[in-house]
Amino acid sequence: MDNENIIKDNFDQLLTRIINNSEEDEVAMTDSLINEFTKLLNDSDIRSIQPNITNIIKTKKGQIHGFGYSEELNSLDLYEGILLQEDSKLNIDKFRIDQKLNKVEKLIMEMSSEDYSETFDESDVESRRLSKILFNSNLSKIDIVFFTNGTTPQSNKNLESLFLGQIKVNVTIYDLNNWIQYIEEEEDIIDIDFEEDYSQKIQAIKIPDISPDISGYLALIPASILIDLYDKYQRQIMQYNVRAFLNFTGPINKGIRDTVVNNPEKFVAFNNGITAVATNIILDSENKYIISASDFKIVNGGQTTATLYFTSRNKNTANSNFSDIVIPMKILDIDKKNLDEFNENIDKISRYSNNQNKVQAADFDANDPFHIELNKFSMKQFIGKSKWFYESKRKDYQSILYGKDTNASKIQFQKEYPKGAWKKSIHGGTKDEYIDQYIDKVDAAKVMLCFWEYPVIAAQGRNSAFTEFQRIKNEKNLLATGTLFKELVAKMIIYKRLVQIHKNNYGATFRSEGNPRATYANIHVLYTLAFISYLAGKKKDKSLNYDLIIEHNNFTRDINFYQHIEKKTRHSGYIPDLLDFVITVLESIGVIYPEQAKKNNQVWQKLIESDLPENLINFPDNLLTDNKKQDLSVEKINTDRERIESQIQVIKSKGKVWWENLFEKSKRSNGEVPNRLIRLISLIIKNFDSIEDFINKNPQYGEIAFKLVEGQD
């Protein structure tokens, strides 16, 4: 697909999202455009967008489509945009943008020089608020942030700053090209036998001793091998790479593709290469060639690898001369005896070697075994009658979807793991019943923090909240298990339903009623989530009934009743009333704007000390269950553990020397013993002193080793 078609395809996708979300949120199309961009910029940590109001505000000569104010930073963002509804002319000229920006500047001048607050209707809370900010506040700066789903050469540039009085005004533009660039950003053992699988060996030069637990080699790996490995093991081979494929729109990946097409023989000169890790690299008898590598993963160079793969699959570039391409590779053999040290080594290699495309700080925790295990559970474990996708690596969901060959396979994946706005053709059911079944790891962290009753931490920015979650999680020695994942899904259902209730009862469509609550859904929902956990925790010998939540994929109708009033969905019952109570308490103690809820620990204390109204005193019985009830079969768990422990005992009973002798005997078998078994024996020898950890981590090896012993005996 050429660049023009890529742009048009993404234009169609973005416009569809804007239209769907405009209908779902019942907001103007331009407001929906701005919402899409501000959420993306915040989620991607590209730019911190203040908690925003997307609603048109006009003065005599000026106009904006939203604003965001930070009391702490004393800074103001003003939003404006141009929405295109057809792709016949995507390029937007400077004159058209200047017309819009001129109206924003006039609004600033008018509101700064005169108190406009009294000219607005009392119900227009946000317009009055903006007027007071501009007239009364000694602002440190104003940022005009302009969005469009068209294209412009001015995008993502800080244009010449303006000075309105003493206030510096910056202008930044984000367009469709930025959108494409930003939107596109299970531990399996992968054993590679280069000689057996590809009829070639990898010539390598040993790096002088690095450390006792790391050795390494410099090599050149043919593009054909790298493409085949990505084709076979796409997600697994990238497990330690901190990002999924970011598409061809970024300059780095586009440059890689252009080199493949136009200068394949120069690829080795133009490309930085890849960094790979393995746990058991075997050389030939002369120590000149890598024959095989176990647990092969790419730590840095994921964009290079994926770009090569997708270029080879694109009908316009598939005939490129890949046979001339070799990629520089640094491959490190890392000792895995001590898992903590192994994970620390992987983490540092990721941090220090990723410096081409922008990497977010939170991305580095993509290699945390806790999140990797939750992702593995999400790929295989049914929760009720369906599955939930846990995204341990940013943009992984989209990368998998992007890699599907046909529309049918893409739709099937979307049905299995629903994400995004409801579409009857894909998701079925009704809009009121639907929630997506996608878990972002940062959202999961915030939800778990709330259930640990830390809403103040959860209400902070994504990176701050996630960093604190990681610290607390490690202090608790929290392990990723099937039970924990199931409970997490139930908690995410509660969270997503609260978001849904808040949007329907206090959403943007009700701002015209003078309801400022629409803006701060995140704060309200997180505090309510923590309050539900607190109230349930007060019930002796009881806990939340996660099975019931999962069964209904919702609260039951008796505590969350919804009906349609004048084409709007409204909720009533215990849960909506509890949400309303939390909001009322927060407002009564002065928590009107989110900055206060993020940094004031007394807010939570005052909430839990508040007297409940009569209709909320009795926590719903059907939301509770006896603590003694267990979902998992203890008998099955014990059986699995006994089998693994038995295998470990058999492996240990033979002694390390026995395995070393078997290794030498197998190497002299002239091919009778498969190389994969030889590598397994080598791994057992290498990990013999910590064989319990090794087999518990790789139970499939325990089965094979057990059968090996039986065969020898």
**Matching residue, tokens 């440059």:** 255
Count CB neighbours of 215 within 10 A: 17
Containing H/E element for 67?
A: strand 66-70
Torsion angle (degrees, nearest 10) of CA 653, 658, 663, 668: -140
**Looking at the structure, do residues 142 and 119 belong to the same domain, yes or no?**
yes
In a domain? residue 366:
no
Burial category of 11 from C-beta neighbours within 10 Å (exposed 0-12, middle 13-18, buried 19 and up): buried
pLDDT for 373 equals: 87
The alpha carbons of the chain give a radius of gyration, in whole angstroms, of 29
**Looking at the structure, do residues 199 and 156 belong to the same domain, yes or no?**
no
Burial category of 42 from C-beta neighbours within 10 Å (exposed 0-12, middle 13-18, buried 19 and up): middle
More reliable by pLDDT, 334 or 490: 490
**Looking at the structure, do residues 535 and 394 belong to the same domain, yes or no?**
yes
Helices vs strands, H then E, count in the chain: 29, 22
What stretches of 99-232 adopt beta strand conformation (E)?
141-148, 158-164, 167-174, 192-193, 202-206, 214-222
How many domains is the chain partitioned into structurally? Answer: 4
The pTM of the whole model exceeds 0.85: no
In a domain? residue 76:
yes
> Mind listing the pLDDT tens digit for each residue in 527-556?
999 999 999 988 878 889 999 999 888 888
Count CB neighbours of 630 within 10 A: 8
Q: Which residues pair with 619 in a beta bridge?
A: none
| Domain end position, chosen among 324, 359, 394 | 359
More reliable by pLDDT, 636 or 622: 622
More reliable by pLDDT, 347 or 600: 347
**Looking at the structure, do residues 314 and 444 belong to the same domain, yes or no?**
no
**Looking at the structure, do residues 278 and 303 belong to the same domain, yes or no?**
yes
**Looking at the structure, do residues 387 and 341 belong to the same domain, yes or no?**
no
In a domain? residue 295:
yes
| CA dist list (Å): 432 to 549, 609, 624 | 16, 34, 24
Q: Which residues contact 52 (CB under 8 A, 6 or more apart)?
A: 34, 38, 66, 67, 68, 77, 79, 519
The C-alpha atoms of residue 654 and residue 649 are separated, in whole angstroms, by 9
Reported as a pLDDT band with limits 50, 70 and 90, residue 712 is: low
In this structure, the chain runs to a length of 713
Burial category of 452 from C-beta neighbours within 10 Å (exposed 0-12, middle 13-18, buried 19 and up): middle
pLDDT for 185 equals: 45
> Mind listing the pLDDT tens digit for each residue in 260-309?
888 888 888 888 788 998 888 999 888 889 999 988 888 888 888 888 88
- What percentage of the chain exceeds 70 in pLDDT? 80
The C-alpha atoms of residue 293 and residue 500 are separated, in whole angstroms, by 49
Residue 162 has pLDDT above 90, yes or no: no
Reported as a pLDDT band with limits 50, 70 and 90, residue 426 is: confident
Count CB neighbours of 328 within 10 A: 18
> Mind listing the pLDDT tens digit for each residue in 568-605?
778 889 999 999 999 998 888 765 545 555 556 778 98
pLDDT for 4 equals: 74
Contact 626, 542 (CB under 8 A): yes
| CA dist list (Å): 526 to 3, 65, 450, 455 | 42, 27, 6, 6
Positive or negative, the CA dihedral 443, 445, 450, 455 is negative
Residue 638 has pLDDT above 50, yes or no: no
Nearest to 651 by CA among 588, 709, 570, 577: 709
Residue 92 has pLDDT above 70, yes or no: yes
In a domain? residue 350:
yes
More reliable by pLDDT, 493 or 595: 493
pLDDT for 642 equals: 64
> Mind listing the pLDDT tens digit for each residue in 220-242?
999 999 988 887 776 677 776 65
Most confident range (mean pLDDT) of 129-143, 485-499, 636-650, 678-692 is: 485-499
Q: Which of 120-134, 204-218, 323-337 is least confident? A: 120-134
Count CB neighbours of 187 within 10 A: 17
DSSP 331-352: EEEE--SSHHHHHHHHHHHHHH
Contact 456, 599 (CB under 8 A): yes
In a domain? residue 369:
no
Contact 494, 553 (CB under 8 A): no
- What percentage of the chain exceeds 90 in pLDDT? 17
In a domain? residue 368:
no
In a domain? residue 519:
yes
The C-alpha atoms of residue 565 and residue 570 are separated, in whole angstroms, by 7
Instruction: Compute the half-sphere exposure of residue 331: CA atoms within 13 Å on the CB side of its CA.
Output: 28
**Looking at the structure, do residues 414 and 532 belong to the same domain, yes or no?**
yes
| Domain end position, chosen among 331, 359, 387 | 359
**β-strands 389-391, 438-440 pairing:** parallel
**Angle, alpha carbons 474-395-697 (nearest 5°):** 45
**Looking at the structure, do residues 585 and 649 belong to the same domain, yes or no?**
no
> Mind listing the pLDDT tens digit for each residue in 176-206?
888 887 765 434 567 889 988 888 889 899 9
Positive or negative, the CA dihedral 392, 395, 400, 403 is negative
Contact 362, 45 (CB under 8 A): yes
Pull the structure tokens for residue 524: 């309200």
Residue 275, SS3 per DSSP: strand
Count CB neighbours of 127 within 10 A: 23
Pull the structure tokens for residue 308: 């090569």
Q: Which residues contact 573 (CB under 8 A, 6 or more apart)?
A: 555, 557, 558, 559, 560, 561
Torsion angle (degrees, nearest 10) of CA 709, 711, 712, 713: 80
**Looking at the structure, do residues 622 and 644 belong to the same domain, yes or no?**
no
pLDDT for 299 equals: 85
Burial category of 513 from C-beta neighbours within 10 Å (exposed 0-12, middle 13-18, buried 19 and up): exposed
**Looking at the structure, do residues 327 and 209 belong to the same domain, yes or no?**
yes
The C-alpha atoms of residue 128 and residue 663 are separated, in whole angstroms, by 79
The C-alpha atoms of residue 417 and residue 383 are separated, in whole angstroms, by 12
The C-alpha atoms of residue 422 and residue 578 are separated, in whole angstroms, by 26
Reported as a pLDDT band with limits 50, 70 and 90, residue 43 is: low
Containing H/E element for 677?
A: helix 675-686
**Angle, alpha carbons 528-533-539 (nearest 5°):** 130
Nearest to 364 by CA among 440, 467, 268, 263: 467
Count CB neighbours of 93 within 10 A: 12
In a domain? residue 370:
no
Contact 556, 615 (CB under 8 A): no
pLDDT for 556 equals: 83
**Looking at the structure, do residues 591 and 703 belong to the same domain, yes or no?**
no
The backbone region for 34, taken as left when phi is positive above 0, alpha when psi lies in -120 to 50, beta otherwise, is: alpha
pLDDT for 635 equals: 41
The C-alpha atoms of residue 689 and residue 275 are separated, in whole angstroms, by 28
Range of the domain at 285: 185-359
| Domain end position, chosen among 626, 660, 680 | 626
pLDDT for 522 equals: 84
Burial category of 151 from C-beta neighbours within 10 Å (exposed 0-12, middle 13-18, buried 19 and up): buried
Residue 694 has pLDDT above 60, yes or no: yes
Reported as a pLDDT band with limits 50, 70 and 90, residue 630 is: very low
**β-strands 141-148, 75-82 pairing:** parallel
Contact 248, 254 (CB under 8 A): yes
More reliable by pLDDT, 591 or 709: 709
**Looking at the structure, do residues 669 and 622 belong to the same domain, yes or no?**
no
DSSP 63: E
Residue 389 has pLDDT above 60, yes or no: yes
Mean pLDDT of 65-81: 80
The C-alpha atoms of residue 184 and residue 384 are separated, in whole angstroms, by 31
